[in-house]
Each structure stands twice: as C-alpha cells, then as structure tokens.
Amino acid sequence: MVGAVDKHLALIGFMGAGKSKLGRELARLTNRPFVDTDREIENRFGPIPELFERGEPEFRRIEEQIVAEALAGPTAVIALGGGAVLSESTRKRLRHTAFVAWVTVDVDTAWSRVRNSGRPLARDREEFGHLFDERADVYDLLAQGTGEDASSLLLESLHVILSSEIACDATVIADERVASLHELTAVDSAKLTTYLVPAGEQAKTPAVVERLWNELELGRDGWIIGFGGGSTTDVAGFTAATHLRGVRWVAVPTTLVGMVDAAIGGKTGINTEQGKNLAGAFHFPWEVRIDPRFLATLPPEERRAGMAEVVKTGLLAGEALWERPDEQMISACAAFKSAVVLSDPYERQGRRAILNLGHTFAHALEAGSGYALRHGDAVALGLLAALRLSGRPTDVVEEVLAPEPVRVDRERAWDALLRDKKGALNLVLLGDDGGYVTQVPEADVKHALDELIAD
Ligand SMILES: NC(=O)c1ccc[n+]([C@@H]2O[C@H](COP(=O)([O-])OP(=O)(O)OC[C@H]3O[C@@H](n4cnc5c(N)ncnc54)[C@H](O)[C@@H]3O)[C@@H](O)[C@H]2O)c1
Ligand SMILES: [Zn+2]
C-alpha cells in the first residue's frame, strides 16, 4: 500500500523537533486518533525523569511496550519519543505497520526548545550535540519521508512530490495535446515509451482502455505513467489498475485540476454509456509528481476550472489558499486533499464526501446543460449555492471565480439532483470547523439551485 494509506503515520525524530504538536495537527487533519507515546508513558507510569532514574533500560522496556500497543491499535498518527527507534523490535514493527516520517529540526533549535525542560538527555549541550548526530543516522535509515511541517508531511504520506523527473523505465500514457507541448524528463538512462491518448475527456472510454490493454508491452513489474490532466491520469490509473490485474503507476498531472485534485487520492476511472466515472477502481499512484511549469500552456478556461477546486479547498481548509503563488497554492491544496484521503481512503466512512462541497449543484447543472457546461464553472456556481445555504458570505467565490447564472434546463437539473441524492437531501455545507454533511429541506435546495439558473 502506498505511503500512510491503511497504515499508521508514525513521527520519529529528535527531542524538540515538535513531533507532539505536529502529530496533534496531523491527527486533526486526517481525522485519526493521536497517540503521543511519551505522554502515554507518563499517564501510566509517572514522570519520565523519574523513570529514567531507575535506569534507561527499564524506561526503554516500558517505551517499547507502549509503542507496540499503539502500533497494534487502530490506524492513527503516532508521535514516538526520540529514542524509541533504538529498539530493534520497535523498528521492525514500524516497518510493517507504519509510514515512518522523520520530523527534522536543526540542533540549535532543538536545544533552545528543550534545554530547560528537565529532560534527562537534555542537560549538557555538548552531549546533546553528539546524541543528535548519532540518532540522525538511525532516523535516516528508517524514515520513508521527512518534513518540518504538517503540509510537507501530508504530501510525503501520499508520495506527492514537487518535481516531474522520472527515474525508472516506464510506459507513458500521454494526452496527445500535452505530449505535443511538453516532454517528460527522465533521469540517467531511464527509458520512456509513450502511448498517446485523445486529449481530455475523450480518452476516458472503454475503447481507449481496451486498445491500451492490447498494445501495452508491459510486464507485471512494469510502470505506467499518466501524463496529462485529470482525464489522462484517470484513464492511465484505471489501465494500471486492470492491466495484468494491476501494475504500479505514477501520475504526472499537467492541469491545475489534476495537481490539486484528480491525480491525488487513488480514484481512477472511465465513463460508460450510462454516465461519467461509472467504471473504475481505487488504485493509488505510487507517486504523484507535480511540476507547476506545465501550467504555462494551460488555456485560461482550464485554469479557471482549476481555481474553482482551489477555492473549494481553501474554503474547506479555512485559508485563503487562492491568494498564494502557484507552487504554494498547489502544494497546500494537494496537502489538504491528501489529509482528507488519509482519513477515509476508500470513501467508506463518508468523510471524503466533504470534498464534494458545491458539487451536488454542479453535477445538477452539468446534467441540465446536457454536459455542455464545464465542470469548474459548474463548481463555481455550486459553491455559491452551498455558501448561501450555509449562511456564509459568497464574496470570495464572486471575486475569484465570478460565476454567472447559466442557461440550462431547470427540470433536467432538478431531476438530476434528486436522482443523485436518491431520497434524503444530504448536502455538504460549510461551518466554522470546515465542511460537514447535513440534511437540507427540499424547498431550500430547489430555491438555491434556481438562483444559479438564468432564464
Ligand atoms: N480521480 C479523481 O479523483 C478526479 C477528481 C477530479 C476530477 N477528475 C476527472 O478529471 C477530469 C478533468 O480533468 P482536467 O480538468 O484536469 O482536464 P482534462 O484532463 O480533461 O484536460 C482538459 C484539456 O486541457 C488540455 N491540457 C491538459 N494539460 C495541458 C497543458 N499543460 N497545457 C495545455 N493544455 C493542456 C487537455 O488536452 C484537454 O484538452 C474529469 O474527467 C474528471 O472526472 C477525477
Ligand atoms: Zn470537482
């Protein structure tokens, strides 16, 4: 399994790195329980300095037991004491049950944070420095990811990387327009074989997938790369999920929608005659390689579509992410989506549903337009409706996305919305703590939808 999907997110690192604080934040963002092993030890066995006085081996035995219990428990975010990974059996357990992330810090910052804390191993600056170097080697060997803040650790937890260089031989499934504008760079001698698929949504058909199954010369240990927007990564991911019962794949998104949304989270799929995304699979990309430079050639209407998802994400995260420069905006959105995905990777608990803020209305409008309306433009309108029903200001959506009511078939839109909801009108609304799902009276929903439609 990729990264921290279905695994604990275990934070290792030196004392003073901020593992407890970060762990608490990551647990909140991923909606997972949080275990701070030092805190747990103190709750059950008393203050750590006192335990240390009985000898370090005794303390390490207790620590090993507490960590083992946490790792045997439900999928969580776990902050480990700085020396916990000295135990061979703890390292072994971590390798099997956790994505191990090293929270890095420089030695002076760490010292300034812990020098007066009474910690047994933080009494002498010189010894502290030696221990810091010694431990760094252990962390380095064990860590699968590193970072100093929540956002970068979340990206690492789903192998989202801000670079597009490809390091291994692979079969590239590329959007034909994208392939005419951009080239993927391979490092060293990595060999890339390219298969072109139609630009955009036209690629998401059973016929395209069947052609790929037939033509791909790729063994079970081969790699597929999806190179294009969300349409291409959807079809490449689905091909990877099904070819020879599943091969590994890497997503290299080239649209803003792809970078902040479609390439992240393991949902892959194609359209059938019955509708969009009706055949698919969860198949997480081994890596998502994001390179904002690809956006230089993106048509303005495609960028606007992406900004609708950015505004959605910013509203959910409670931060004006849309105001940041591209690279920061993209990594913050990708990190937020990663957190939600980690909270509910297979959409079983329903938490992933919050990512659908504004989307019930968007889907209805898309249907009402006979699918002529662009998804992003529909989402912009859908966000207006969701904010109005949430009793919140709509100025951000108006300023950043400037949506205008659209001329679509009211009846068809409303029917589609009811069909989409199959009875109870549960919608994602926005509260002070982000998105939540709630039941909304039919008349209010109908009114909100009507306001989005021009006569
Ligand atoms: N799997 C998921 O979780 C998920 C999430 C959101 C959306 N999606 C899917 O993503 C699809 C939409 O993806 P999209 O919005 O990224 O668009 P897209 O992939 O359909 O591409 C839109 C257009 O932009 C062009 N293009 C792509 N990159 C370009 C570049 N760098 N320069 C110039 N032109 C470029 C394409 O050729 C195409 O014409 C939908 O099918 C949707 O269902 C999937
Ligand atoms: Zn969307």
- To the query of whether residue 245 is one of the catalytic residues in this protein, the response is yes
pTM of the model: 0.95
The residue to mutate among 176, 177, 271, having the most atoms of ligand 1 within 8 angstroms of its beta carbon, is: 177
User: Poorest-confidence range of 184-188, 216-220, 274-278, 418-422?
Assistant: 418-422
What is the distance between the alpha carbons of residues 239 and 208, in angstroms, rounded to a whole number? 9
Contact residues for 175 (Cβ-Cβ < 8 A; gap 6+):
196, 197, 198, 199, 200, 203, 227, 228, 229, 231, 232, 254
- To the query of whether residue 127 is one of the catalytic residues in this protein, the response is no
DSSP state of 283: -
Which of 60, 312, 352, 388 is the catalytic position? 352
pLDDT at 420: 73
pLDDT at 122: 87
Say if residue 4's pLDDT is above 80.
yes
SS3 145: strand
Say if residue 351's pLDDT is above 90.
no
Q: Once rounded to an integer, what is the mean pLDDT over residues 390-406?
A: 97
- To the query of whether residue 359 is one of the catalytic residues in this protein, the response is yes
Task: Write b or e for each residue in 367-403: b if 16 or more Cβ atoms lie within 10 A of its Cβ, otherwise e.
Answer: bbbeeebbbbbbbbbbbbbbbbbbeeeeebbeebbeb
Ligand 1 neighbourhood includes 262 CB (under 6 angstroms)? yes
Q: Are 172 and 195 in contact (CB under 8 A)?
A: yes
What is the distance between the alpha carbons of residues 56 and 392, in angstroms, rounded to a whole number? 55
- To the query of whether residue 267 is one of the catalytic residues in this protein, the response is yes
Task: Read off the pLDDT of residues 192-226 as tens digits, 9 standing for 90 and up.
Answer: 999 999 999 999 999 999 999 999 999 999 999 99
pLDDT band at 342, cuts 50/70/90? Answer: very high
pLDDT at 175: 98
Beta strand extents in 179-246 (DSSP E only): 192-197, 223-228
Ligand 1 neighbourhood includes 291 CB (under 6 angstroms)? no
SS3 100: strand
Which of 148, 327, 347, 398 is the catalytic position? 347
Ligand 1 neighbourhood includes 305 CB (under 6 angstroms)? yes
Relative to the alpha carbon of 382, which ligand is closest? Answer: 2
- To the query of whether residue 375 is one of the catalytic residues in this protein, the response is yes
Amino acid (one-letter) located at 34: F
Element (H, E) at 161: strand 160-161
Say if residue 275's pLDDT is above 90.
no
Rounded distance from Cα 439 to ligand 1 centre (Å): 32
Closest atom of ligand 1 to CA, residue 204: 41
Task: Read off the pLDDT of residues 74-128 as tens digits, 9 standing for 90 and up.
Answer: 999 999 999 999 999 999 999 999 999 999 999 999 999 999 888 888 889 999 9
Nearest CA to ligand 1 atom 37: 199
Contact residues for 286 (Cβ-Cβ < 8 A; gap 6+):
2, 159, 223, 248, 249, 250
Q: Are 144 and 75 in contact (CB under 8 A)?
A: no
Contact residues for 204 (Cβ-Cβ < 8 A; gap 6+):
231, 234, 235, 269, 270, 271, 276, 277
Of 15, 195, 238, 19, nearest in space to 107 by CA: 15
Q: Once rounded to an integer, what is the mean pLDDT over residues 51-76?
A: 95
Task: Read off the pLDDT of residues 232-273 as tens digits, 9 standing for 90 and up.
Answer: 999 999 999 999 999 999 999 999 999 999 999 999 999 999
Nearest CA to ligand 1 atom 40: 231
- To the query of whether residue 419 is one of the catalytic residues in this protein, the response is no
What is the distance between the alpha carbons of residues 319 and 321, in angstroms, rounded to a whole number? 5
Of 3, 9, 19, nearest in space to 105 by CA: 19
Nearest CA to ligand 1 atom 22: 200
Residue 309: phi and psi, rounded to 5, are -70, -30
Q: Which two tokens stand for residue 296?
A: 């230089």
- To the query of whether residue 159 is one of the catalytic residues in this protein, the response is no
pLDDT band at 443, cuts 50/70/90? Answer: very high
Which of 245, 273, 348, 411 is the catalytic position? 245
Say if residue 422's pLDDT is above 70.
no
Say if residue 423's pLDDT is above 70.
no
Share of the chain above pLDDT 90, in %: 91
Element (H, E) at 447: helix 442-450
Say if residue 357's pLDDT is above 90.
yes
Contact residues for 22 (Cβ-Cβ < 8 A; gap 6+):
11, 79, 103, 149, 150, 153
- In 275-409, which residue ranges form alpha helices assigned H by DSSP? 300-317, 326-343, 359-368, 375-390, 395-401
pLDDT band at 343, cuts 50/70/90? Answer: very high
pLDDT at 3: 96
